[in-house]
Structure 1
Amino acid sequence: MAFSPAPATSLADARPDVFWTDRPELRPTPRSALTGHAGRADLVVVGGGFTGLWAAIQAKEDDPSRDVVLLEAGRLGVGASGRNGGFVSPSLTHGLAQGVAQWPDEIATLERLAAESFAGWQATLVEHRIDADFHLPGELTLALSEHQVSAVREAYDLHREHGKAVELLDAAGARSRVDSPLYRAGFLDPEVGLVDPARLVWGLAEAAEGLGVRLHEDTRVTGFDVDGAGVRVSTEWGSLRAGRVVVGTGAAPGVLRRFRAWVLPVYDHVLMTEPLSPAQLGSVGWEGREGLTDAGNQFHYYRRTLDDRVLFGGYDANYHFPGRIDPALEQEQGSHRLLARHFFEIFPQLEGVRFTHRWAGVIDTTSRFTPVFGTALGGRLAYAIGYTGLGVGSTRFGARVALDLVDGRETEATRLRMVREKPIPFPPEPIRYAAVRATRAALAAEDRTGRRGLWLKALDRLGVGFDS
């Protein structure tokens, strides 16, 4: 589809910062760093994002007497867990279609475990009184071109086949919910929620501390060594002996070299508008506050916040050679300008709205779009990484699996092929960079034409892809 230029003024005052964490009145007081040789803990959790926090909480729920220490390299909420769109999908498989394609024989079990984990996710928020603006308005997947209409219908049919209470919308039905001249069809998945991700991080951290977890920020882990029956965890400031270790570091440079084969760090860019006026809201509708996405390979995701801003992100998924992660890459002017143009093409009635924040986050992408699980150091360490943009809800399950693995428990979850089998590794550089560029070009071509080319068909046969 063709996009018209957006007013250049829309980004003029946008702060180069993450909206969710750019609220000093909400940010908690920093926790101290772990310094010196700090004794011993039963369990050390590395990474203070969603995976790490859920691992720490569930470990204490399993055994309140277990001494649990969580180490975060920076500040809680500064990484991917605090800068995403706040969409909470119960899916463990990056959507139903991906689950059916990868594990058709296990999909019923995967869907049941997903529902159980999501119920536990919500119960924890209630039990610990975590006010993270969680609400469950559902998600609309929208067709922005004629060939996306069939994709929407296929997705709807698949969900119905698996007993999902989804609703199919024609162009008029979609526009009656959210008004855009580009909408040609859509389907509503009522199971997807929305949350303020930074407040969720901070709330989970407070809940973990309430259970007795010791949290340390600004403590980068530099390595692990087998130490008798346990592990010596080295940090930039000292060390700590651990009985067991769980790692949930996302796309951050891995403390284990093996992570590089399975995870690509992909930059995803985001804009946040100023609060919309009643007249502007009236021109769009959107009274149900559904989360929105579109059916393209290069897709947008967008939502209303509870103070009536619009978060608008996605589309560009940028991989920088050779897997570079750098704060300087977060302010990619071309990606933010492209998002602004797309925003006003989708909502021309909002011309004149200004963006107050612009940022980016790094997504831990795998070749099958679902996490990598495993153990190291003779089973003393377990990890769960690679959620490919759908980790807000599924990290609770990932943390559960990692705990089961490190404690040597064979469970229904650890027997899953998704857990036991690794995804196909990405090739080494510079082949990796060339393959990503070729795949991005092929995905964009399919979005333009509706035809899946030979390159993508070959990847389909291998069961691999590139996504954010």
Structure 2
Amino acid sequence: MSVRVPLSSEFVNGDVSFWYRSMGVPAPGPRLDGDLDADVAIVGAGYTGLWTAYYLKRARPSLRVVLLEQEFAGFGASGRNGGWLTGDLAGSHERYGEGARRLQREMYTSIDEVIAVCEKEGIDCDLVKGGVLNVARTPAQVSRLRESVESARPWGIGEEDLRLVNPGDHLRVAGAIEGSWSPHCARIQPAKLAQGLARVVRDLGVPIYERTPVTEIAPHRAVTPYGTVTAGHVIRATEGFTSRLRGLRRQWLPMNSSMIVTEPLPESFWDEVGWRGAELLGDMAHYYMYAQRTADDRIAFGGRGRPYLYGSRVDARGHTHEWTVEALWSLLTEFFPAARSSSVAHAWSGVLGVPRDWCSTVHVDPSTGLGWAGGYTGHGVTTTNLAGRTLRDLVLGEETELTSLPWVGRRVRAWEPEPLRWIGVHAMYRLYRVADERERTMPRTSVLARFADLITGH
């Protein structure tokens, strides 16, 4: 690693994530051992699969629900994300159309639903509903920030949900000109939530077969090397790992996101920057960042690294490239110069699912029993809870407010074949990086960023 990044003596790159390092990687449970019959087979034991199993068993305790997981529960994005339980919509209001107002309110409701379940089930995941501050550090970013607040109003997002603020009133970020504030966000420790949900689901009588990769999903069956599960419903909850399944390589783009975490910072640092609570922090750059103050007084700081691997390949080990660590550290210390006295304790990466129109979907086909949810574009911590409750209603054949939301049954065209996918995604992020640099001296959004949006439909 470059000397430009101070690394702690116990620095780790990869090995799932810091979240698991701080609590210990769980020993994988038993594999599937032979063929099995079930009412519902769920492929993937991340947040989507765990929430779906939870709500199904709470609604119908007699249902035979099983979870199939290639590694261990919470191995993927559920154990690697930035810990934002946010009310931001996983997609565009305009693309969801008229029902987007209801979908947005359900996203806000889902935050409090997660909080309630954690309290009821005794899941300690460092959860604090502290709100979120987004900062603008250039005139062009200020313009986008104001536009984002104004454009939110027609979708039922009022002043109490999102408003412009002086960022220094919440958090002192170097160079911040203006900010927006929303109370609809909570900090979590992602791995603690995943493992807590896994414990609760097992206690409800749901077996989680780990180290059991699913090689094929077909109507009423999920095929593994150790046996086939036959079920009335088979739910695909594989998010960024969907490209590994046969015939689904172009369904959702596996996009990488990377994080670093500092050593614990002293109280004097938090006093200096005014970060007194559990506020989440984001910005209005195209190549954006996200951060939290952890329960043990570190900064967990994330952003896009090497965004996409050719052929929709997935690096499951979470290793982060040196230049990505350098870029994240540079931006962190640009935001908080006082953090230069600290060092980086861990770096890791995870993969998220991106549909062609950047809007998430949930669906169950009654004729085949096949269902899925995903394509959360980085907003999955909250959206997975809504997905789990919606999948419950769809599997049970109930018509509810949730099953009429506009993301239910949405069909999105596949991504282009290679090399067009690779060229398009890398061009988009290259243009975003250049646009951010140019906007340091520009009053409005760079045309390069608008062109990047046009290329990929972002």
* Partner Cα separation in structure 2 for residue 282 and residue 396 of structure 1: 35
Which residue of structure 2 lines up, in the alignment, with residue 453 of structure 1?
Answer: 447
**1:23 maps to 2:22:** yes
* 1:436 lines up with 2:433 in the alignment: no
After superposition, the C-alpha distances for 1:427-446 in whole angstroms (9 at most, x for unaligned) are 11111111112222333343
Unpaired stretches in structure 2, ≥5 consecutive residues: none
Matched letter for residue 31 of structure 2: A
What CA distance in whole angstroms lies between the structure 1 residues aligned with 2:33 and 2:105? Answer: 43
CA contact (8 A) 1:381 1:406 kept: no
Determine if contact 1:86/1:194 at 8 Å carries over to the other structure. Answer: yes
TM-score by length of 1: 0.88
**Structure 1: runs of 5+ lacking an equivalent:** none
Aligned positions of 1:97-246 closer than 5 A: 98-99=92-93, 101-159=94-152, 162-165=157-160, 166-170=162-166, 174-226=167-219, 231-246=220-235
> What code does the residue aligned with 1:336 have?
V
Give the Cα–Cα distance (whole angstroms) in 2 for the partners of residues 116 and 137 of structure 1: 16
Query: How much does 1:455 deviate?
Result: 7.7
Per-residue displacement from partner, 1:382-436 (whole Å, max 9, x unpaired)?
A: 0112111110011011223333444444443333442232234321111111111
Say whether the 8 Å CA contact 2:103–2:406 is kept in structure 1: no
User: Which residue does 1:90 correspond to in 2?
Assistant: 87
Rounded Cα–Cα distance in structure 1 between residues aligned with 2:27 and 2:427? 45
Give per-residue Cα distances to partners, 1:81-113, cap 9 Å, x unaligned: 00111000134434xxx21x2134112221232
In the TM superposition, 1:297-316 aligns within 5 A as 297-316=286-305
CA contact (8 A) 2:256 2:306 kept: yes
**Greater Cα shift, 322-331 or 337-346:** 322-331
The sequence identity of aligned pairs, in percent, is 32
Are the structure 2 counterparts of residues 255 and 356 from structure 1 closer, same or farther at C-alpha, using a change threshold of 3 Å? closer
Alignment-derived partner of residue 65 in structure 2? 68
Q: Measured at CA, do residues 83 and 362 of structure 1 come closer, stay the same or move farther in structure 2, by a change above 3 Å?
A: same
- Is the contact between residue 312 and residue 343 of structure 1 (CA under 8 Å) also seen in structure 2? yes
Question: Where does structure 1 differ by over 6 angstroms across 4 or more consecutive aligned residues?
Answer: none
Asked if 2 retains the 8 angstrom alpha-carbon contact of 1:6 and 1:341, the reply is no
Q: 1:45 aligns with which of 42, 47, 50?
A: 42
Distance 1:168 1:117 in 2: 24
Structure 2 vs 1, CA of residues 401 and 289 (structure 1 numbering), >3 Å: closer, same or farther?
closer
Residues 59 and 66, structure 1, Cα contact 8 Å, conserved in 2: yes
Partner SS state of residue 105, structure 1: helix
Instruction: Say whether 1:291 aligns with 2:287.
Output: no
CA distance, structure 1, for counterparts of residue 119 and residue 276 of structure 2: 25
Kept in 2, the 8 Å contact 1:265–1:365? The answer is yes
Q: Is the 8 A contact 2:435 2:448 kept in 1?
A: no
Aligned partners of 1:46 and 1:70 also within 8 Å: yes
- The residue number in structure 1 matching 2:30 is 32
Alpha-carbon separation, structure 1, partners of 2:400 and 2:64: 23
| Separation in structure 1 between the aligned mates of residue 186 and residue 195 of structure 2, nearest angstrom | 18
Could you state the TM-score of these two structures normalised by the residue count of structure 2?
Answer: 0.90
CA spacing shift, 1:293–1:274, aligned 2, 3 Å:
same
User: Number of paired residues?
Assistant: 447
Name the SS for the 1:351 alignment partner. helix
Give, in whole Å, the separation in 1 of the partners of 2:307 and 2:211: 27
Mapped to 2, the partners of 1:77 and 1:224 lie a distance apart of 21
Q: Which of 56, 59, 67 is the equivalent residue of 2:53?
A: 56
Q: Look up the SS of the partner of 2:404 in the other structure.
A: coil
Q: 1:23 to 1:442 in 2, by over 3 A?
A: closer
Cα distance in 2, alignment partners of residues 125 and 347 from structure 1? 32
Deviation at 1:155, TM superposition (A): 2.2
Q: Are the counterparts in 2 of residues 10 and 340 from structure 1 also a CA contact under 8 Å?
A: no
Q: What is the identity, as a one-letter code, of the residue corresponding to 1:112?
A: R
Question: Which residue of structure 2 lines up, in the alignment, with residue 278 of structure 1?
Answer: 267
Q: What is the distance in 1 between the residues matched to 2:310 and 2:12?
A: 27
Deviations 1:280-331 (A, max 9, x none): 2222221133100000111010110011000011143511112121246722
Q: Secondary structure at the match of 2:54?
A: helix
Q: Identify the residue that residue 371 of structure 1 maps to in structure 2.
A: 360
Q: Distance in 2 between matches of 1:60 and 1:360?
A: 32
| Secondary structure in structure 1 of the residue aligned to 2:359 | coil
Give a deviation string over 1:105-155, Cα, whole Å, max 9, x none: 112221232233333222211211111111111000001212111122222
Structure 2 residue identity aligned to 1:456: R
- Deviation, 1:377, is 9.0
- Once residues 428 and 222 of structure 1 are traced to their aligned partners in structure 2, the CA distance between those partners, rounded to angstroms, is 22
CA separation in 2, counterparts of 1:145 and 1:80? 31
Change (3 A) 1:451 1:191: closer
In structure 2, the residue corresponding to 1:318 is in which secondary structure? coil
